A and B are shown apart, each in its own frame.
Chain A
Amino acid sequence: MADTPIPLEVRNIKKRFGDTEVLKGLSLTAQKGDVITLIGASGSGKSTFLRCMNLLEQPDEGELVVHGEQILFKETSKGREPADWKQVVRMRAKLSMVFQGFNLWAHMTLLENVIEAPVHVLGKPKKEAIAHARELLERVGLSARADAYPAQMSGGQQQRGAIARALAMDPEVMLFDEPTSALDPELVGDVLKVMRDLAAEGRTMIVVTHEMAFARDVSSQVIYLHEGRVEEAGAPADVLENPRSERLKQFLAPKH
């Protein structure tokens, strides 16, 4: 597999909001099949970092290489912007995102949600997209809900549906932004199970999460962020079982 391009490389990302520098030079390389979890307290910049990867936030500095393609930027009076929005659109189609708040499109049925981007962004024939969508809904255990609207589904169902929507793009990398944080505790398990299955089949995933068990069992790499910097990174056995810094020890300590 040596000559397949690396799915995602991110180098030295910096981001300021006003006077506050929230990301102070973050890098990451996702090889095929990697599951990278980003952990850290709220305000550590982990979600912002993830959102910089598909340019929902514009990084002020740094480089992005998606599947071997370098994203081009230009300097404007308002700061740095992508030089070619067509390129951004193309790269976003390769990185599908699963949001904390699900964000399934409310005016479409679940099936319509899943086929929307494949049909309208990738130009896939509708029939083919529907067949694929039905397979994916079967996989996430939602075959029976294909014609339901998001408002008629539980949070857990919506998030599994959102994962099916992400899979329908055949993405290079899946980005998960705290996918279980908005769920009732009893619904978290179903979503995590789907994510574990995806990891097991070799999907490349970057996951911002507070689920330490998931990070420990599933990830190939754990990155602990503190105030926009990488405090510790490495295999979960090292980072989570033998934390070196006091901060990470405290972060991992059971809270009562």
Chain B
Amino acid sequence: MIDLHGYGPRLAEGALITIELAVLSLVLAILLGLATASAKMSRNWVLHRVATLYTTIIRGVPDLVLMMLLFFGGQIGINMITDMLYDRFGVDIFINVNEFIAGVVTIGLIFGAYMGETFRGAFMAVDAGQIEAGRAYGMNHWLVFRRIRFPQMMRHAIPGLSNNWMVLLKTTALVSVIGLTDMVRVASEASKATREPFTFMIIVAVIYLLIASLSEWGFARLQKRYDVGYGEAD
């Protein structure tokens, strides 16, 4: 048996944080992605510009830089606001940027931009006649979205979604730089303390691989579900 020098429980906690972080970021990224895709497809040019600016910035700046900007910059911004509140109104509050929330927000923001492109392509792949039939039968926008546009779009989105998820999962390793004790950070501390980096890194690698394989299986099932009605070949 591998000797973990007592780091087992902390590694498990770190793994849990990694998973929580990844899942919550994914949820945020999906919501942002849907909003971005809708904005980019909308005829409203303000929405269109805002969405384009967002994806351009996010996709053009390294993830690590963005994360530090948001974490440290966010704290400075919040401090400025609370200072102003104190000066003007005498309200004394102190808000500390929580590393976990900062991590979720940053990763969610980053992958929201990628999801936006994935969803936009997928929405555009839905046959216009399908939407038109919904409208012709008295469905309002929301009903058309919920019953037709979304389920048909998902079929086209899942390959991209699954790819984004894999990258997102691995991006969570970056949060250790803002002080979040995910499993990479625990492993790195343990490696230094025990001088057995290989032991801990291989464990981390295996855990990532395990999550990734499970997800791949999950996405394959999801794809099957949304492929219903389209035959095997397409």
Q: Which residues of A contact B (CB under 8 A)?
A: 54, 56, 85-86, 89-90, 92-93, 96-97, 99, 101, 103-109, 116-117, 120-122, 149-152, 165, 169
Contact = CB atoms under 8 A, between A and B. Distances in A.
A117 B231 contact: no
A107 B229 contact: yes
Given A106-B130, A107-B151, A107-B228, A117 B139 contact: yes
B147 A120 contact: yes
A92 B229 contact: no
Contact of B138 (A92, A109, A150): A92
Contacts of A93: 137-138
A191 to B, nearest CB: 17
B135 interface: yes
Interface residues of B, number: 23
Given A56-B132, A56-B136, A101-B129, 4 more contacts: A90-B138, A96-B137, A99-B133, A103-B130
22 contacts: A56-B136, A85-B140, A89-B138, A89-B139, A92-B135, A99-B136, A103-B129, A103-B133, A105-B148, A106-B127, A106-B130, A106-B152, A106-B229, A106-B230, A107-B148, A107-B226, A108-B229, A116-B137, A117-B139, A120-B143, A152-B231, A169-B137
B229 A149 contact: yes
B228 A149 contact: yes
Main secondary structure of the interface of B (DSSP, over half): helix
B136 A54 contact: yes
Interface in B140-167: 140, 143, 147-148, 151-152, 155
Given A103-B130, A107-B152, A107-B226, A96 B140 contact: no
Contacts of B152: 105-107
A211 B138 CA distance: 28
Interface in B82-120: none
Contact of A151 (B130, B226, B229): B229
Interface string B221-234: 00000101111000
Contact of B130 (A105, A152, A165): A105
B148 A121 contact: no
A99 B128 CA distance: 12
A133 to B, nearest CB: 14
Interface in B41-70: none
Contact of A120 (B129, B130, B133, B139): B139
B229 A117 contact: no
B230 A121 contact: no
B133 A105 contact: yes
A132 to B, nearest CB: 15
